[in-house]
Chains A and B, each alone.
Chain A
Amino acid sequence: MKKIKDNILLITTILLCLFGITMIYSSSYVWSIYKFNNPYKYLISQAIFFIVGLVLMFILKKIDYHLYEKHANKILLVCIILLILVLIPGVGKIRNGSRSWFGFGPFGIQPSEFSKIGLIIFVSKYLSKNNKDIKDIKKGIFPILSIIIFFFFLIMLEPDFGQGMVIVLSLLLIIFVSGTKLSFFIKCFILGLLCIIGLIIVAPYRMARIVSYLNPWTDPLGSGFQIIQSLYAIGPSGLLGSGLGNSIQKHFYLPEPQTDFIFAIISEEFGFLGILLITSMFMIIFYKSIKISLSSSDLFSKYLVFGLSSQIIIQATLNLAVVVGLIPVTGVTLPFISYGGSSLLVSLMSIGIILGIEKSNKKTDF
Chain B
Amino acid sequence: MFWQDKQVRIRFVVLIITFLIITIIVKVFYIEVFQYKKLNSLASDLWSRNLPITADRGKILDRNGKILADNITTTSLYLIPNQIKEKEKVTQELASILNVSYEEMKEHVFKKTSLERVHPEGRQLSFEIADKINALNYDGVYLLKESKRYYPYKNLMAQTLGFVGIDNQGLSGLELKYNDYLTGTNGSIKYYSDAKGNKLPVSEEYKEAVSGLDLTLTIDLDLQQAVERELDNVVSKYSPEAALAIAMDPQSGELLAISSRPNYNPNSYQTTSLEILNRNLPIWMTYEPGSTMKITTLAASLNEGVVNLFEDNFYDKGSIEVDGAHLHCWKRGGHGQETYLQVVENSCNPGFVSLGLKLGKDRLFSYIKNYGFGEKTGIDLIGEENGIIFDLDKIGNVELATTAFGQGISVTPIQQVRAVSASINGGTLYRPYILKNISDSTTKQIVLENSSEIIRQVITKETSDMVRFALESVVSNGTGRNAYIENYRVGGKTGTAQKVNNGRYMVGNYIVSFIGFMPADNPSIVVYVAIDNPKGVTQYGGTVAAPVAKAILESYINIKKLPPASDLMPKVYNWNDIKYQVLPDVVGKSLEEAKKILKGYTLEYSGQGNKIIHQSPSAGLYVEDNSTVKLMLSN
Residues of chain A whose beta carbon lies under 8 Å from any beta carbon of chain B: 30, 173, 176-179, 182, 231-238, 248-249, 251-253, 267, 271-272, 275-276, 279, 282-283, 286-287, 290, 293-294, 299, 302, 306, 310, 313-314, 317, 320-321, 324-326
Residues of chain B within 8 A (CB-CB) of A251 are 194-195, 200
Tell me how far the C-beta of B425 lies from the nearest C-beta in chain A, rounded to whole angstroms: 63
Tell me how far the C-beta of A336 lies from the nearest C-beta in chain B, rounded to whole angstroms: 15
Tell me how far the C-beta of A154 lies from the nearest C-beta in chain B, rounded to whole angstroms: 26
> How many residue pairs at the A-B interface have CB separations less than 8 Å?
109
Residues of chain A within 8 A (CB-CB) of B43 are 232-233, 235-236, 248-249
Listed by A's residue number, 7 A-B pairs whose Cβ atoms lie within 8 Å are A179-B5, A182-B3, A234-B28, A235-B32, A253-B194, A283-B21, A294-B11
Q: Provide the B20-48 mask, 1 if CB < 8 A to any CB of A, else 0.
A: 11011101110110011011101110110
Residues of chain B whose beta carbon lies under 8 Å from any beta carbon of chain A: 3-7, 9-11, 13-14, 17-18, 20-21, 23-25, 27-29, 31-32, 35-36, 38-40, 42-44, 46-47, 192, 194-196, 200, 202
Tell me how far the C-beta of B269 lies from the nearest C-beta in chain A, rounded to whole angstroms: 42
Residues of chain B within 8 A (CB-CB) of A267 are 28, 32
Tell me how far the C-beta of A335 lies from the nearest C-beta in chain B, rounded to whole angstroms: 14
* Known contacts A235-B35, A283-B21, A317-B21; A176/B13 CB under 8 A: yes
Q: How far is the CA of A366 from the CA of B25 in the complex (A)?
A: 41
Q: How far is the CA of A233 from the CA of B136 in the complex (A)?
A: 38
Instruction: Contact check, B25 vs A178: say whether CB atoms are below 8 A apart.
Output: no
Instruction: Contact check, B13 vs A248: say whether CB atoms are below 8 A apart.
Output: no
Residue in B closest to A235 when the chains form the complex, CB atoms: B39
Q: How far is the CA of A24 from the CA of B305 in the complex (A)?
A: 99
Residues of chain A within 8 A (CB-CB) of B31 are 231, 234-235, 324-325
Residues of chain B within 8 A (CB-CB) of A231 are 31, 35, 39
Instruction: Contact check, B39 vs A236: say whether CB atoms are below 8 A apart.
Output: yes
Q: How far is the CA of A30 from the CA of B198 in the complex (A)?
A: 12
Instruction: Contact check, A279 vs B35: say whether CB atoms are below 8 A apart.
Output: no
Tell me how far the C-beta of A230 lies from the nearest C-beta in chain B, rounded to whole angstroms: 9
Residues of chain B within 8 A (CB-CB) of A276 are 25
Q: How far is the CA of A339 from the CA of B266 in the complex (A)?
A: 65
Residues of chain B within 8 A (CB-CB) of A290 are 10, 14
* Known contacts A232-B39, A252-B196, A279-B21; A272/B32 CB under 8 A: yes
* Known contacts A234-B31, A235-B35, A294-B10; A286/B192 CB under 8 A: no
Q: How far is the CA of A314 from the CA of B18 in the complex (A)?
A: 11
Question: Which one, B20, B25, B192, contacts A248 given CB within 8 A?
Answer: B192
Residue in A closest to B37 when the chains form the complex, CB atoms: A235
* The 7 nearest A-B residue pairs measured at CB: A235-B39, A251-B194, A252-B195, A232-B43, A236-B40, A324-B27, A177-B9
Instruction: Contact check, A253 vs B195: say whether CB atoms are below 8 A apart.
Output: yes
Q: How far is the CA of A290 from the CA of B9 in the complex (A)?
A: 12
B11, B38, B195 — which one has the most chain A CB atoms within 10 A of its CB?
A: B195
Tell me how far the C-beta of B13 lies from the nearest C-beta in chain A, rounded to whole angstroms: 6
Tell me how far the C-beta of A247 lies from the nearest C-beta in chain B, rounded to whole angstroms: 10
Residue in B closest to A286 when the chains form the complex, CB atoms: B17
Q: How far is the CA of A359 from the CA of B27 in the complex (A)?
A: 38
Residues of chain A within 8 A (CB-CB) of B4 are 179
A177-B6, A299-B6 known; 6 new pairs, CB 8 Å cut-off, are A176-B13, A232-B42, A253-B194, A287-B14, A321-B24, A326-B24
Residue in B closest to A283 when the chains form the complex, CB atoms: B21
Q: How far is the CA of A328 from the CA of B47 in the complex (A)?
A: 25
Q: How far is the CA of A233 from the CA of B31 in the complex (A)?
A: 10
* Known contacts A235-B40, A310-B13; A272/B21 CB under 8 A: no
* Known contacts A236-B44, A321-B24, A326-B24; A252/B194 CB under 8 A: yes
Residue in B closest to A302 when the chains form the complex, CB atoms: B6
Instruction: Contact check, A248 vs B14: say whether CB atoms are below 8 A apart.
Output: no
Q: How far is the CA of A248 from the CA of B38 in the complex (A)?
A: 17
